[in-house]
Amino acid sequence: MITLLLIVIPIVGMLVTLLVKQGNVARQLTLGISLVELGLTIYAFQLLKTDPAMLTWRQSWIPDFGSEFYFRMDGIGLLMVLLTTLLYPFIVLSTQNKNYQSSFYSLMLLMQAALIGVFTAVDGFLFYIFWELALLPIYFICLRWGGENSGKITFKFFVYTLTGSLLMLVALIYVYLQTPGAHSFAIEALYATGKALSATEQAWIFFGLFAAFAVKMPVFPFHTWQPDTYVAAPTAGTMLLSGIMLKMGTYGLIRWLIPIAPLGWQNYGYIAVILAVIGIVYASCIAIVQKDFKRLIAYSSIAHVGLIAAGILSFNVQGVQGGIFQMLSHGINVVGLFYIVDIISSRMGTRNLSELGGIRNVAPTFAVLYLIVLLGSVALPITNGFVGEFLLLTGIYQYDVTLAVFAGLTVILGAVYMLRSYQAIMLGETNMLTEGFKDLTSNEKLILIPLVILIVLFGIYPQPLLDVTEPAVQMLIEQVMK
């Protein structure tokens, strides 16, 4: 029932928000709903230990079609729901003084419901519906409140994502049609049927599902929509895309791709890992030469998600555990980074690194908080990024030593482009533009300080989160390897 409430509450909130005329009231209502969602998620962690049956909800929907309202949260899904509900209050708070209409917040709430649906649906057809539903609000957010050329850019994003989604639907329908007796979209039936298919059939299913997930993450060479979309989107839209939505793809690798087509993964997963590793090096090198700070962070996100995908596709305990933990860590870090971009661009009217400098001299609080977020992104020990990247590289090393060496370049290259950007923005002497930079407001501190606390807390004490996911990860790997 808790799982159902997590989806229904934002939908009801969306309808109520549509009736509100004032954007500020709609923002406060959305913030309140996001905090309720976070509270329910924390309660769900307790239920996972004491009464896990409460985290499953199953009702008949289209019996003749073999589809049900079937939602379930195990440790994996619960951490993805935590990612969503934890970041939403920060994203809503970041919209203060943006003068967004109530329709903007209605779309945010619809997207929250869709994201939680993706992370909890264990019926293939229902999963596809929520997958597509999550695309609509972010498309309109980017289109209506985006920057220059937002129409052309968001259309490209929409076409890429929709094309991948259709390939996923074809793959799911094919497996569904092979289920024995009365066909079923239930995840257990899809797992059992997919595993029994021939190697050739599983290969086609693997590539059909991988196309959808690779576009969403995105993985090289399916990434070309991402930098322009991230730059053109409003800050809140970029946070939703990078912090949460791209995790739909990495989550799909764990929950749907490998368990449904294990032979496809065994025979062709190496190709997917190579593409992910290429993306790490390629995106990192492109990030180093960027002059626009927001575009630099966009390319860094491609590199980080490439490492997550490679670790997950290694499909050992360390790789999958690291992937799940790093999805949460990356979400926290990248939301902090894009908020820092927004603070700088809104004050200075530019994101060009060459026009900035010396901000540390006039905004010491901002300088310290920015540095901690940056260190989390480059995986400094005692930050959340270190835990995830260490596990991921360990998992990739067990899979293939050579690929682990190239994947490990993310540590060096990430430090290069992030520290160079910090040097260009914060160090040196102020200029005529940056000498008037004001230090953080109360609302900005309300966002950045908790994010910094989470970065350090999860870096020092990650075990509770790893304990939540480990049983589900072990069970899934054992099921695939049988």
Q: How far is it, in rounded angstroms, from Cα 379 to Cα 408?
A: 12
Q: How far is it, in rounded angstroms, from Cα 82 to Cα 418?
A: 27
Q: Identify whether 262 is preceded by a cis peptide bond (ω within 30 of 0).
A: no
Q: What's the pLDDT at 98?
A: 81
Residue 23 reports pLDDT greater than 90: no
Residue 252 reports pLDDT greater than 90: yes
List C-alpha distances in Å: 456 to 40, 328, 453: 24, 13, 5
The beta strands (E) that lie in 311-430 are given as none
Q: What's the pLDDT at 262?
A: 92
Reference 82, options 118, 53, 54, 42; nearest CA is 42
Comparing 147-151, 204-208, 462-466, the range with the smallest average pLDDT is 147-151
Label residue 433 exposed, middle or buried (CB < 10 Å: 0-12, 13-18, 19+).
Answer: middle
Average pLDDT of span 252-260? 92
> Mean pLDDT for the chain?
90
Query: What are the tens digits of pLDDT across the range 294-329?
Result: 999 999 989 999 999 999 999 899 999 999 999 999
Per-residue tokens: 410: 């993310």
Q: What is the DSSP string of 113-164?
A: HHHHHHHHB-BHHHHHHHHHHHHHHHHHHHHHH--TTHHHHHHHHHHHHHHH
Residue 355 reports pLDDT greater than 90: no
Query: What are the tens digits of pLDDT across the range 402-461?
Result: 999 999 888 899 999 999 999 999 888 888 888 888 888 888 999 999 999 999 999 999
Can you give the residue ranges of every domain in the chain? 2-481
Q: What's the pLDDT at 90?
A: 94
Decide: 106 and 14 in contact? Cβ < 8 Å: yes
Q: What's the pLDDT at 375?
A: 93
Q: How far is it, in rounded angstroms, from Cα 265 to Cα 397?
A: 18
Q: What's the pLDDT at 146?
A: 77
| Residues 6+ positions from 141 with CB-CB distance below 8 Å | 104, 107, 108, 111, 233, 234, 236, 237, 240
Q: What is the DSSP letter of 94?
A: T
Q: How far is it, in rounded angstroms, from Cα 91 to Cα 236?
A: 6
Q: How far is it, in rounded angstroms, from Cα 129 to Cα 466?
A: 30
Tell me the whole-structure pTM to 2 decimals.
Answer: 0.92
